[in-house]
Chain A
């Protein structure tokens, strides 16, 4: 084989080799960058479809409430605080959902998160909240539910399984769309 042929062959092999290396490194870096750049809040809750974490929490001016005691009911667990402006936005939807379904086997349960008791009680009175509300003093329940911020709402079926999680303010239509079939299934 002549020298120019050898040179050409060597050039071709070297170029191919570097191309393969480039592609492998680029693919690996792209995967890593995708992992690092993803938005964690957009991920689906791993709790959906699984048993809801159990809790028993003191009531805000009422009796303690345990999730086990609500077995057989569809439970809407709403994490909120008096200082959370977005919680104010969703309050009308929660109140009307409660008014509509409270005698159909649904319990809306407010979980007060990192709040002062006085502020929370004041908010309950001003917002006309009549559904039961409990206090998550050490945020254990919040951590067990994978809370990423407030407001956050979980819909739990009559068997105690998490059906949906809503990050941010809920709307009445979304809640009703989940609750109605669960009530049919429960009966």
Chain B
């Protein structure tokens, strides 16, 4: 007869692991609880916030750890905002507003990210449930020495872990499947984490030092102006042939012809665009300019009035109408209104210098 033991047998390795796991959990909880009580200094708080934010130009480093200048600016902003009285949550929210959730190194506690936050609790529950099931199974297994018979006077063999009499054994295939179900995803996650940790991908700002001065300058300096304009004409002609009913194609060709001083050809293309789309502002303004340069300011004005009724702030039409009124129709006051409107509508427009010259030409009495 063997001595009394809990569950009637020597504690199995599973039970030992369970006790160890509970001990580790308890120690962790106590440690976290003690650490959580200490107040953080502003510098430590800033570092803690930065450590939870991804450095946007190096992707796999936190803003606290990255040497990139932009990460340094993030740390400076965090310090400034803390000093201004903003809470860590507000500071994080500002970065999320600009970068989205991907700036956070840990998933947000909403949407899909909630799963990651619930995972520890889920794992704990599953572990507890597993422990309960195992304990119940051991208890039911305890008094059933099924291999002993009444005539057998020898003590019943102690149930072996390797060959329990009543404990069901799974087939090798089932055990392999269960092991794979647990090991494969865990292995994948570990590999992803390790890969992210050791191979940060760097983007342009971090590669600043590697950029040779003057490298790839050809794209900037290469196309001579005349070649580019001629190329635009060739492309425009090809596009119009390919899409003869495309307003965009006719307008592009009209601009290309105008750029190489082919005014008549340009006018033909504007006319084609205006026929396809009678209210098109650019086509009608182009035709108005052609009419004005051909000595027909009234026809030009009619076209421009029509354009500006539909699109009152269209800068090109305001400029051309101002020009027509001032130079062609001698209507200085009305021209001034148009030219002033152009300056307001196109703060960086190409005609600003010309408009200021035209305005200076208007006699004070006519203003």
- B-contacting residues of A (Cβ < 8 Å)? 3, 6-8, 10-11, 14-15, 17-19, 21-26, 28-33, 35-41, 43-47, 53, 69-70, 72-73, 81, 83-86, 88-89, 91-92, 99-100, 102-105, 107, 113-114, 126-128, 131-132, 138-140, 142-151, 180, 186-187
The secondary-structure label for the interface of chain A is: helix
Q: Which of B192, B220, B314 interacts with A105 by CB under 8 Å?
A: B314
A40 touches B54 (CB 8 A): yes
Q: How far is the CA of A40 from the CA of B96 in the complex (A)?
A: 12
**Which one of B122-130, B266-274, B324-332 is at the interface?**
B122-130
Whether the pair B56, A33 counts as a contact (CB closer than 8 A) is: no
Please name the residue on chain B nearest to A70 by beta carbon. B347
A104 to B315 alpha-carbon distance, docked (Å): 6
The answer to whether B204 and A86 touch across the interface, beta carbons within 8 angstroms, is: yes
Closest to A132 in B: B348
Known: A92-B220, A146-B99, A187-B310. A15 touches B204 (CB 8 A): no
* Interface membership of B304, Cβ < 8 A: no
A37–B192 CB distance below 8 A: yes
18 new A-B contacts at CB < 8 Å, known A10-B137, A139-B73: A7-B166, A22-B178, A23-B181, A24-B122, A26-B181, A28-B123, A36-B193, A36-B196, A46-B99, A72-B313, A73-B346, A89-B216, A103-B316, A114-B69, A127-B220, A138-B76, A143-B77, A187-B314
Q: Contact between B112 and A22 (Cβ–Cβ < 8 Å)? A: no
Question: Is chain B's binding surface mostly helix, strand, loop or mixed?
Answer: helix
A139, B204: Cβ atoms closer than 8 Å? no
Given contacts A43-B102, A86-B204, contact A107 B116 (CB under 8 A): no
Contact across chains for A147 and B349 when beta carbons are under 8 A apart: no
Q: Min CB distance, A185 to chain B, in Å?
A: 11
Decide if B217 touches A83 in the complex (CB within 8 Å): no
Residues on B with C-beta less than 8 A from A114 are 69-70, 205, 208
User: Which residue of the partner chain, among A23, A31, A144, contacts B98 with CB atoms under 8 Å?
Assistant: A144
Contact flag A36-B208 (CB < 8 Å), given A22-B182, A24-B126: no
